[in-house]
Every structure is written in structure tokens, then in C-alpha cells.
Amino acid sequence: MTLKTFKYLLYYISNTSKMPVSRIRKSGNSTVLVLPPDYVEEKNLAIGEEVEFQVFRKANLKRLFGRGAHLKLDAQKAKDELRKEW
């Protein structure tokens, strides 16, 4: 994993709390993605309205833990560098 990838993962994890979380379900022969009612209300969506969307898998922190160990980065320096960019 490169430093750039690691930074992206940290950015993604820190911003995923703002996105609605939903579960993919099966309904008959179709696959359904159910949107939370507060999100539908916030975005003023109507039933039957056509929308575009992008799907991200929910981050599995257990899988990510320790993945950056081979980078041999000083944690404080990495944190300071990330703060400069944000």
C-alpha cells in the first residue's frame, strides 16, 4: 500500500459517516437498495424519480488495521502531513 492509497483510505473512512448506509435486498427477481427516509426527505426525492448514484462498500476496519505498517511512517509526521492537505 502506498502513502497515497493510505491517505485516500483515511479520507474515505473519515467521510463515510456523512453518507447514508443501506443494505442491498432481494425482492422477487429484483435487487433493491433501500434509502433511509431521512435521506430521501433531505434530498427531496420522490418515488419513481430517476436518480444517479455511486456505491462504496462499507469500510472493514478490521481488514485495514495494520495495513500501513510496512510504510514505516512516524505517526505524528503522517498526521501533520494529512492536516496540511485538508
What letter would DSSP give residue 60? -
Give the mean pLDDT of 60-78. Answer: 69
Q: Is the pLDDT of residue 1 over 60?
A: no
Contact 56/16 with Cβ under 8 angstroms? yes
Question: With bands split at pLDDT 50, 70 and 90, how would you rate the model's confidence at 30?
Answer: very high
Segments making up each domain of the chain, as ranges:
3-85
Length of the chain: 86
Give the mean pLDDT of 1-16. Answer: 64
pLDDT tens, position by position, 13-23: 665 546 677 88
What letter would DSSP give residue 53? -
Backbone angles phi, psi at 51, to 5 degrees: -130, 160
Element (H, E) at 42: helix 37-42
User: In 47-77, which positions are buried (b, 16+ CB within 10 angstroms) versus exposed (e)?
Assistant: eeeeeeeeeeeeeeeeeeeeebeeeeeeeee
Q: pTM here?
A: 0.45
Q: What pLDDT score was predicted for residue 70?
A: 67
